[in-house]
């Protein structure tokens, strides 16, 4: 009995001991989780530290949502917020002389991003991709607004755009309101329901995208959506009507910063500059389309007037092109051309002003004070010209396909592409229509801004030709020549009327195992078991309106698996060497292709790069270079 009592006491003691250990373990786990949670917060360098040391590290927390931050079809990050924050870092490097090391942190939920910002310190920037009214801004700081958030009333195509509120009341009573339960768009609907459609029952969906899809798919629907979602729907070709009444200013879009951050000073200075407001507007148009005046920042003064005048002149100039080229209406090239024209007009203005100031400089060289002032103005004009060229580069990068896109069509291929300057006169194109794969290399005789302009027009013509299922290389060159000549001539661009394009286009039919080639002052290099066979094109340029009658001929021949096709501009073999200032020469270039064609395609790329750099040495690059090699399958 006594032993039984002792055993009971021991068992009770062991139970108490285990319970205490379990509680201690639970408490330790909670403390560990709390420590880990705290460790997840970020602490970048402050603006004060960065200004002092001229270097620093920052963390950029982003929530991906189109059009603010997203990955495009080329696999690259882009978006309105992404482009603005990268331009801000360029501003810091150029204007403040600081370099930043950046770590991008992606969040799947903007609420988690917000919570992380509240716990972080100093050099941490948040790209929330949502309007500020969806965030509690009491615990954080917000930068200057880069875009407003507006709700608009949209409807099915069968519901007309009304001209007065009386007509709107009559129309709404006979349609079905679509909204999201317990949302801002439902609150907006509630504001007008009693007066305009008191008896209608709501049809609920979960997202604003579903509101748009419902309105597109079914007749007699209407609802509120964000203006951003409206622009995206229009850009995607969705057919909806936008009513001009009852628009509601919901909130604004801005970046968010920790409460302790002193970076707000640098952001404010950036957004205060008119030229950065212009860039912000450019990025908004780039990702939403050109007709987005509702959400653009106001740019006061002479800069805004220049943009308005340039856009107006571009619209007038292309009215005739629009009438004669009706089949191009479904493409977006006009928007790009408008931007390119704006850049060209600004460059011409800068050039004219620069000539005026240079004349003043020669006349007043003895006067030190005036000399210093004119030098300062010229520096400012040079910066303007540089900014204009940057615009052209952004446009060209968006148009020319990436080497990865070429590999999708031709898996065994390489693209050796080295522009001489910021914008290139050489460009290339790739496409596929069923069993036919199309590859083209083009060399514009123009340079700089003019080259970017011609690149824009040519690539959009190629897109149109693919839509029209024109795949014969001779027909492609013939249509490109006709359409480019008419565009340039009808629009009255005298400064490019003598410019032309040299081109090499080939179509590979994988079913019939044939290659078809046509060229405009360009040659295709075909290598098989018999060796290298240069196939020359016709001696005509594309787009030179001085030459009206041109005959482009196509050459077709069979191929076997493993044969090679090379297309090239003249930049590689026209390059001057650093030793004797002689060109590399076409014969040496052809011999080089024969020497490397048995190598894997990536090794061919590396061999071309090594030889080109060794030949060029310290000599300045002579011309743009593009060489594309394709192993036929």
pLDDT at 519: 96
**How many whole angstroms separate alpha carbon 193 and alpha carbon 61?**
40
Percent of the chain at pLDDT > 90 equals 42
pTM: 0.44
123-127, 319-323, 423-427: which is most confident: 123-127
pLDDT(221) > 60 = yes
CA distances from 247 to 108, 178, 250, 425 (A): 30, 16, 9, 46
pLDDT(535) > 90 = yes
pLDDT at 216: 93
pLDDT(525) > 90 = yes
**How many whole angstroms separate alpha carbon 201 and alpha carbon 193?**
10
pLDDT at 314: 39
Predicted confidence band at 272 (pLDDT cuts at 50, 70, 90)? confident
Task: Give the list of residues 6+ apart from residue 256 with CB closer than 8 angstroms, or none.
Answer: 114, 117, 125, 126, 128, 135, 137, 140, 141, 142, 143
pLDDT at 390: 65
pLDDT(31) > 50 = no
SS (H, E, C) 55-119: EEEEEEEEECECCCEEECCCCCEECHHHHHHHHHHHHHHHHHCCEEEEEEEEECCHHHHHHHHHH
Q: Which of 136-150, 296-310, 315-329, 330-344 has the lowest mean pLDDT?
A: 315-329
pLDDT at 298: 67
Predicted confidence band at 407 (pLDDT cuts at 50, 70, 90)? very high
pLDDT at 174: 86
pLDDT at 385: 52
Predicted confidence band at 38 (pLDDT cuts at 50, 70, 90)? very low
Task: Give me 54's structure tokens.
Answer: 């001229």
Please indicate whether residue 607 or residue 280 has the higher confidence score (pLDDT): 607
pLDDT(470) > 60 = yes
Predicted confidence band at 495 (pLDDT cuts at 50, 70, 90)? very low
pLDDT(350) > 60 = yes
Q: Hey, how many other C-beta atoms are within 10 angstroms of the C-beta on 498?
A: 14
For 338-358, what is the mean pLDDT? 66
Predicted confidence band at 318 (pLDDT cuts at 50, 70, 90)? very low
Please indicate whether residue 340 or residue 481 has the higher confidence score (pLDDT): 481
Task: Give the list of residues 6+ apart from residue 590 with CB closer than 8 angstroms, or none.
Answer: 525, 532, 534
For 456-475, what is the mean pLDDT? 90
**How many whole angstroms separate alpha carbon 502 and alpha carbon 452?**
15
Predicted confidence band at 317 (pLDDT cuts at 50, 70, 90)? very low
pLDDT at 147: 85
pLDDT(448) > 70 = no
**Residue-averaged pLDDT of the chain:** 81
pLDDT tens-place string over residues 355-405: 776 676 666 655 655 555 556 555 555 555 555 566 666 667 777 888 889
Predicted confidence band at 227 (pLDDT cuts at 50, 70, 90)? confident
For 468-489, what is the mean pLDDT? 87
**How many whole angstroms separate alpha carbon 115 and alpha carbon 127?**
13
Task: Give me 285's structure tokens.
Answer: 């148009």
Predicted confidence band at 578 (pLDDT cuts at 50, 70, 90)? confident
Nearest to 552 by CA among 481, 612, 629: 481
pLDDT at 442: 93
pLDDT tens-place string over residues 43-80: 899 999 999 999 999 999 999 988 899 998 878 899 99
DSSP string, 115-154: HHHHH-EESEEEE--S-GGGS-GGGEEE---SEEEEEEEE
Predicted confidence band at 89 (pLDDT cuts at 50, 70, 90)? very high
pLDDT(213) > 90 = yes
pLDDT at 496: 46
For 259-274, what is the mean pLDDT? 88
Residues in the chain: 633
For 456-485, what is the mean pLDDT? 90
Predicted confidence band at 457 (pLDDT cuts at 50, 70, 90)? confident
**How many whole angstroms separate alpha carbon 624 and alpha carbon 604?**
19
For 120-145, what is the mean pLDDT? 89
């Amino acid at each position: 009995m006594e032993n039984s009592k002792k055993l009971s006491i021991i068992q009770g003691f062991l139970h108490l001991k285990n319970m205490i250990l379990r509680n201690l373990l639970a408490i330790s786990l909670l403390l560990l989780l709390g420590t880990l949670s705290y460790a997840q917060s970020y602490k970048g360098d402050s603006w004060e530290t960065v200004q002092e040391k001229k270097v620093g590290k920052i963390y950029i927390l982003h929530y991906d949502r189109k059009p603010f931050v997203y990955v495009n079809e080329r696999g690259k990050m882009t978006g309105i917020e992404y482009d603005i924050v990268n331009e801000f870092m360029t501003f810091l490097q150029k204007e403040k002389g600081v370099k930043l090391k950046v770590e991008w942190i992606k969040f799947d939920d903007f609420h988690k991003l917000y919570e992380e910002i509240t716990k972080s310190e100093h050099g941490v920037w948040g790209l929330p991709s949502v309007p500020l009214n969806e965030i509690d801004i009491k615990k954080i700081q917000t930068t200057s607004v880069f875009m407003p958030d507006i709700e608009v009333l949209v409807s099915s195509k069968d519901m007309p755009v009304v001209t007065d509120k009386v007509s709107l009341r009559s129309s709404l009573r006979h349609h079905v309101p679509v909204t999201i339960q317990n949302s801002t768009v439902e609150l907006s609907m509630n504001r007008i329901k009693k007066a305009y459609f008191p008896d209608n029952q709501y049809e609920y969906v979960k997202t604003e995208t579903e509101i748009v899809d419902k309105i597109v798919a079914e007749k007699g629907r209407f609802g509120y959506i964000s203006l951003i979602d409206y622009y995206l729907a229009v850009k995607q070709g969705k057919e909806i009507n936008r009513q001009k009444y009852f628009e509601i200013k919901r909130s604004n879009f801005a970046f968010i910063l920790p409460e302790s951050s002193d970076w707000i000073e640098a952001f404010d200075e950036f957004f205060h500059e008119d030229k950065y407001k212009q860039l912000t507007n450019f990025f908004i148009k780039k990702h939403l389309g050109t007709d987005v005046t509702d959400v653009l920042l106001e740019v006061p003064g002479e800069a805004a007037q220049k943009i308005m005048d340039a856009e107006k002149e571009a619209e007038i100039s292309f009215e005739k092109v629009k009438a004669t080229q009706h089949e191009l209406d479904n493409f977006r090239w006009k928007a790009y051309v408008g931007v390119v024209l704006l850049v060209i007009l600004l460059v011409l203005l800068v050039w004219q002003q620069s000539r005026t100031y240079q004349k003043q400089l020669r006349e007043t060289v003895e006067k030190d004070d005036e000399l210093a002032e004119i030098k300062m103005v010229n520096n400012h004009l040079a910066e303007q010209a540089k900014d204009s060229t940057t615009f052209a580069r952004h446009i060209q990068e968006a148009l020319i396909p990436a080497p990865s896109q070429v590999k999708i069509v031709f898996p065994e291929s390489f693209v050796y592409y080295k522009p001489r300057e910021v914008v290139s006169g050489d460009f290339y194109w790739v496409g596929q229509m069923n069993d036919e794969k199309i590859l083209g290399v083009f060399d514009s005789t123009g340079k700089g801004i003019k080259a970017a302009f011609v690149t824009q027009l040519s690539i959009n013509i190629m897109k149109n030709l693919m839509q029209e299922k024109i795949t014969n290389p001779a027909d492609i060159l013939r249509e490109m020549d006709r359409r480019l000549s008419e565009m340039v001539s009808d629009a009255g661009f005298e400064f490019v009327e003598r410019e032309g394009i040299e081109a090499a286009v080939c179509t590979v039919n994988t079913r019939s195992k044939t290659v078809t080639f046509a060229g405009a002052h360009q040659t295709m290099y075909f290598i098989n078991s018999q060796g290298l066979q240069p196939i020359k094109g016709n001696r005509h340029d594309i787009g030179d309106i001085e030459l009206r009658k041109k005959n482009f001929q196509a050459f077709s021949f069979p191929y076997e698996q493993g044969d090679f096709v090379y297309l090239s501009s003249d930049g590689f073999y026209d390059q001057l060497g650093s030793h004797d200032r002689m060109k590399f020469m076409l014969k040496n270039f052809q011999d080089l292709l024969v020497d490397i064609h048995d190598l894997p395609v990536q090794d061919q790329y590396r061999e071309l790069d090594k030889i080109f750099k060794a030949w060029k040495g310290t000599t300045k690059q002579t011309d743009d270079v593009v060489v594309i090699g394709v192993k036929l399958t």
